[in-house]
């Protein structure tokens, strides 16, 4: 068990194990750590498509700014960013993909903002 899996001491002094977010298993391919097996599998599929010439310019973890940073009543608020799992060109169009197992409320809002701000539909895998 590594340090991040050890967790914290509970009331009885025993360590409780930290669960991985959404029960995903982190997976490494080509030296790149993916948040889940599904995301790693999709990366492998996209790399094959890129080698075959069906897609171009494969990008990973590509950020899109949805709302600029701002000050409200003197308090600084960071920019709101959506980070796409994969972005690539196919048939002259930019495709933005997100490998989803569980759609959070935050993701649903960011998906709508992507359409509103950038006119981009996120392709969910």
Q: What is the mean pLDDT of residues 66-74?
A: 95
What DSSP string runs through the chain?
--HHHH-EE-TTS-EEPPPPGGG---EEETTEEESSHHHHHHHHHHHHHHHTTSSEEEEEEEEEEEE--EEETTEEEPPEEEEEEEEEEETTEEEEEE--SS--HHHHHHHHHHHHHH--PEEE-
Q: How confident is the model at residue 26 (pLDDT cuts 50, 70, 90)?
A: confident
Residue 81: pLDDT band (50, 70, 90) is very high
* pLDDT top residue among 56 and 1: 56
User: What per-residue confidence (pLDDT) applies to 4?
Assistant: 45
Domains defined along the chain, listed by start: 3-124 (3.40.1350)
| Cβ neighbours, 10 Å, residue 82 | 22
pLDDT (0 to 100) of residue 36: 87
Q: Any idea which residue has 């700014």 for tokens?
A: 65
């Amino acid at each position: 068990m590594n340090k991040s899996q050890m967790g914290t001491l509970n009331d009885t002094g025993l360590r409780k194990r930290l669960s991985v977010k959404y029960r995903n298993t982190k997976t490494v391919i080509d030296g790149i750590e993916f948040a889940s097996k599904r995301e790693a599998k999709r990366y492998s599929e996209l790399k094959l498509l890129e080698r075959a010439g069906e897609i171009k310019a494969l990008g990973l973890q590509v950020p899109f700014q949805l709302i600029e940073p701002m000050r409200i009543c003197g308090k600084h608020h960071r920019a709101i960013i959506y980070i796409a799992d994969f972005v690539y060109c196919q048939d002259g169009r930019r495709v933005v993909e997100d490998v989803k197992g569980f759609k959070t409320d935050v993701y649903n809002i960011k998906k709508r903002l992507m359409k509103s701000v950038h006119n981009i539909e996120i392709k969910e895998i």
